[in-house]
Structure 1
Amino acid sequence: MGSWNSISMEIIYQVLGWISIICWALASYPQVILNFRRKSVVGLSFDYVMLNCTKQSSYLIYNATLFFSSTVQRQYFDKYGYDQMIPVALSDVFFPFHSILLISVVSVQIVFFDVSAWQPESLEDIHCYLCCSMVLRSSLLFYGSANPFMALARLHIQAFLNFTRKSTVGFSIGNIVLDFTGGVGTLAQMSVQSIDQGSWVNFFGNIGKPLLALVSIGFDLIFFYQHFVLYHIKASRVSFQRDPESTEPLIKDSDHLQGIATTS
C-alpha cells in the first residue's frame, strides 16, 4: 500500500477526518434533545429517520468491509494499483456506528412522544410503521451500500415535509449546521490525501464518501434557506405563540387575538 509523502499532510488528513466525523456524529444530538424537550416529534419525517438508518447501516458495512477485510483491500489494490492508499479511515467506521445508536434513540422517541396529522396518529400505526420500516430497511440494505444516492432519498423527504408544513419547527437546524461542517471537512480531508499522493484515485475508489458529502451539503443549503429565509420571515410576523417550539398551530392575526380578549 502507498505511504504518505508528507507527515504534516498526514496529520492534517487525520485532524480533518476526525473533525468531520465528530461534526457528523454530533449532528444527531440536537434533534434528540429537541424531541425530548418538546416531548414531541412533530415536524420530523418518519421516512427521513427510516431511510437515514438504512443509509448509515449501508455506509457502516461499506466502510468496515473496506477497512478491516484484507480480501476486499486486495481487490481494491488489484483495481486501482498497489501504490494507492485505502481511502477509509477508522473515523469513517466510527461515524455510522454511532449514528445508528442515535437513530435508535429517535425511534424510541417516535413511539412514546406526541405525533400529529403529518405522521401516523395512533400507537398501533406507529408500531406497524416501524415493523414495516425494518423489513424495508433489510431489503434496501445491500442496495444502499452500493448506491450513494440513498442520502438523496432521505433528505428530500424532510425538505418536502418542511415545504408542505411551511415550517421547520420540530426539525432541528443544529444538526444541519453540524452536517454541513462535516461534509465540507470530508471533502477537504480527501483533497489533502489527493494532493499528498498526486492522484485523485481515492475519490473514485471511495466514490460513496464524496458523493455523500456533496449530496448532504446541497440539501443542507436547502434547509438553511428554508429555516433562515423562506419560513423565518413568516415566523417573524407571528404575533403570538404559546411556546417557540410548541406543536400548537401558530396564531398570526393580531385582530383575532383582540377578538378573543374581548369575548373573554
Structure 2
Amino acid sequence: MNLLFKLVTLSAIFSYINGAIFEASVTDLQLLVDEKENITIIVKNVATSGTLNLTRSAKNIVELTPNQIPIPKSSNGSYPVLVEAVGAGHVIINGQFDGDDKVLLRVTVLKNIGLDVFSVVIGWIYFIAWSVSFYPQIYTNYKRKSVIGLNFDFLYLNIVGFTLYGVFNLGLYFSEDIKEEYFDRHPGGLNPVQVNDIVFAVHAAIVCAFTITQTFIYERAEQRVSTTARLILGFFAAVIIISVILSACKVLEWLDFLYICSYVKLTITLIKYVPQAYMNYQRKSTVGWSIGNILLDFTGGMLSMLQMIVNAYNYDDWVSIFSDLTKFGLGLFSVAFDILFIVQHYVLYTHSRFIAIEGSDIPDP
C-alpha cells in the first residue's frame, strides 16, 4: 500500500491482558475504500490457551480475516491479519482475550485521497481568512483613533464566545478521557476538531481582548456595554458554573460540559451581530464598522461549511456535522449576518462615508 495512505506510529500500543502482551504492528491505519492491508498481531507471555477475538467498534467499514485467532498456552508468536476496507468511516479494532478487552488498532477509511488533501487546504484557507478578519477592525480603530461606531456589546459577547469555543476545541482534542467519551457515543465517527480549529479559537480570543483594550484608549463618546448584554453574559456565566459543578460531581460527563460550552458559543453567534446591525440601522451608517472584517468573515464561513461537507462525504460521517453544531452553525450564521452587513454597507448606507462627531468628520479608512 502507498505510504501516503497509511499512518504508522513509531511505537505500538501494548495491551496487557492477564499478563500477556498483545502488540499490533500498525496502530493507526488509513485506507481507501476497497483497499486491503496485511497487519501482524504479536503475542507474548500468554499463560493460558484461549482465543483472541478481534472486534470492531462499527460494522460495514472493515472486514478482518481472520477475526478469531487461537492462542496456545505459553505462546510467543506473530499472527497475520488481513484488513479490508469495505466502507468509509472510522473504526477501532479491539482484542478480546479471556474476558478482557483492549484497543489494538484504529482504522480510518476514506473514499478519495484528493478530497482529503482538498479538505486540509480548505481548512487552512478559512483559518487564515477568519484569523485575518479581526485585523481590519483593529486597523480602522487605530487609524481613526476612535471606536465610535463599533458596538461594545458585540465585542464582549465575541470574546466570551471564542473563549468557550477554545475550551471546547482544546478539551475534545487533547483530553483522552473526553475523546473516549466521544467515541463511545459515536463509535464510527471522527474527531470533529482539527488543529486549525484550536489555533483559530485561541487566536480569536486573544485578538478580541486586544480590540477591547482599544475601547479604553481611543475616543468612545458615551458608548458602553448595555444592561441587556450584561444580563445575558451573567446568565451564560451561571450556566457554565453550574455545568462545571455538575460535571465535577459526575452528574454530567465532561463531554456534556464541552457541548454546553459549544451551545453557549453558538447562541452568542446567533445574537452577537444584532447590536451592531441595529446600531448601523440607527445611525444609517456603517462608519466605524470595518467592511474588510465582514468580507473575510464571509469567506471563512463559507469555506468552513464546505470543509465539513467534504469531510462528511469522504468519510461517510455525516454525524460529525450534527455532533459539532458549533462549527457548522458558526459558519452558517456568520454568513447570514455577513450578507446583512454587506447589504447595509454597499446598498442601504452607501452614501455615508463620514460621520459627524463633535463638529468634525472622521473618515472610515
For the superposition of Structure 1 and Structure 2, which TM-score range results when normalised by the shorter chain? 0.7 to 0.9
SS in 2 for 1:149: helix
Alignment of 1:71-220 (within 5 A): 71-81=177-187, 83-117=188-222, 119-120=223-224, 136=234, 139=237, 142=240, 144-147=261-264, 148-220=266-338
Runs of 4+ in 1 over 6 A off after TM superposition: none
Contact 1:155 1:219 in 2 (8 A): yes
Alignment of 1:213-252 (within 5 A): 213-233=331-351, 242-245=361-364
Contact 2:286 2:352 in 1 (8 A): no
Largest Rg, 1 or 2:
2
Two-structure CA RMSD over aligned residues (Å): 2.6
Deviations 1:163-187 (A, max 9, x none): 1111100000101001000000001
Instruction: Tell me the TM-score normalized by structure 2.
Output: 0.59
Deviations 1:27-62 (A, max 9, x none): 100000000000000000111000000110010011
Equivalent-residue separation in structure 2 for 1:245 and 1:69 (angstroms): 45
- Work out the percentage of aligned pairs sharing the same amino acid: 33
- Offset at residue 77 of structure 1 (A): 1.1
Letter of the structure 1 residue corresponding to residue 334 of structure 2: S
Number of residue pairs matched by the alignment: 232
Letter of the structure 2 residue corresponding to residue 190 of structure 1: M
Does residue 1:23 correspond to 2:115, yes or no? no
SS in 1 for 2:272: helix
- Offset at residue 7 of structure 1 (A): 2.3
Contact 2:287 2:353 in 1 (8 A): no
Greater strand content: 2
Deviations 1:189-214 (A, max 9, x none): 00111111123111011111101111
Contact 1:13 1:192 in 2 (8 A): yes
Distance 1:69 1:144, change over 3 A: closer
Equivalent-residue separation in structure 2 for 1:38 and 1:175 (angstroms): 16
Structure 2 match to 1:251: none
Deviations 1:143-172 (A, max 9, x none): 553331211121111111111111100000
Instruction: Tell me the TM-score normalized by structure 1.
Output: 0.80
Equivalent-residue separation in structure 2 for 1:30 and 1:193 (angstroms): 31
Equivalent-residue separation in structure 2 for 1:178 and 1:149 (angstroms): 22
- Offset at residue 96 of structure 1 (A): 1.2
Distance 1:234 1:100, change over 3 A: closer
Greater helix content: 1
Letter of the structure 2 residue corresponding to residue 66 of structure 1: L
Letter of the structure 1 residue corresponding to residue 203 of structure 2: H
Higher relative contact order (CA 8 A, sep 6+): 1
Letter of the structure 2 residue corresponding to residue 139 of structure 1: A
Alignment of 1:28-43 (within 5 A): 28-43=134-149
Structure 2 match to 1:68: 174
Letter of the structure 1 residue corresponding to residue 267 of structure 2: F
Tell me, which stretches of 5 or more residues in structure 1 are unaligned? 121-125, 247-264
Contact 1:20 1:182 in 2 (8 A): yes
Letter of the structure 1 residue corresponding to residue 316 of structure 2: G
Equivalent-residue separation in structure 2 for 1:109 and 1:153 (angstroms): 23
